[in-house]
Amino acid sequence: MKGQILDFSVQESVGYISGQDGKRYHFKGAEWKGIYPPRRGLTVDFAVEGDEAKAVYIPVGATSASKNKVAAGLLAIFLGGLGIHKFYLGFTGPGLVFLLVNTIGFAVTWIMLFIPNVILGVIGFVEGIIYLTKSDEEFEQQYVVEKKQWF
């Protein structure tokens, strides 16, 4: 059955899943088959035994949001200095930091040879490479589920 993780406690090693049938199922950490710890919002497949979820895993190609790592990586490489990749991933705050520092930096620091703008471009380029070199599962876990905003 498919479902979405509602919560998982690392300390108690117990979590809850909302199944596509509308019911809630609990699962033990020992039933988790993923590489990374289960996180709230993650789409999963699982077997049902009573009110327990068994053999809980992330289905191949599953995403909890429609964010493409290639799109994010290319936006970061080519438009990273403007923070477009941050907006694409849903990180408005960091996106505004990039955009404002770049815009204000361009107007104020032209005497300093646009050093802040170059630095933001390099940061965007590095983030793009990081996005593209991660596996799909790692990208999904870190930037969509955990919402990791920087590097």
Query: Is residue 43 domain-shared with residue 102, that is, in the same domain?
Result: no
**Does 62 map to a domain?**
no
Average pLDDT value for residue range 10-24: 93
Number of domains in the chain: 2
**Does 91 map to a domain?**
yes
Q: How far is CA 22 from the centre of its chain?
A: 26
Query: Is residue 128 domain-shared with residue 90, that is, in the same domain?
Result: yes
**What φ, ψ does residue 67 adopt, rounded to 5°?**
-115, 125
Residue 11 in tokens: 């300390």
Look up the domain containing 43 and give its range: 2-57
Q: Is the pLDDT assigned to residue 2 strictly greater than 80? A: yes
Q: How far apart are CA 124 and CA 111, in angstroms?
A: 23
> Chain-wide mean pLDDT for the chain?
85
What are the beta bridge partners of residue 15?
Answer: 8, 27
Nearest to 56 by CA among 71, 34, 84: 34
pLDDT at 61: 59
**Does 39 map to a domain?**
yes
**Does 63 map to a domain?**
no
Least confident of 5-19, 97-111, 116-130: 97-111
Give the tens place of pLDDT for each residue, 31-65. 998 877 788 888 899 999 999 999 998 886 554 45
Query: Is residue 76 domain-shared with residue 140, that is, in the same domain?
Result: yes
Query: Is residue 52 domain-shared with residue 81, that is, in the same domain?
Result: no
Helices (H), the chain: 69-79, 84-88, 92-108, 115-133, 136-139
Eight-class DSSP state of 91: -
Give the tens place of pLDDT for each residue, 64-79. 455 788 999 999 999 8
Query: Is residue 81 domain-shared with residue 48, that is, in the same domain?
Result: no
Q: How far apart are CA 34 and CA 31, in angstroms?
A: 9
Query: Is residue 49 domain-shared with residue 14, that is, in the same domain?
Result: yes
Give the tens place of pLDDT for each residue, 78-103. 988 889 999 998 899 999 988 888 88
Average pLDDT value for residue range 103-108: 75
Average pLDDT value for residue range 124-140: 88
Residues of the chain above pLDDT 70, percent = 91
- Buried b vs exposed e over 120-130: b needs ≥16 C-beta within 10 Å? bbebbeebbeb
The residue whose two tokens read 């049902």 is 48
**Does 79 map to a domain?**
yes
**Does 150 map to a domain?**
no
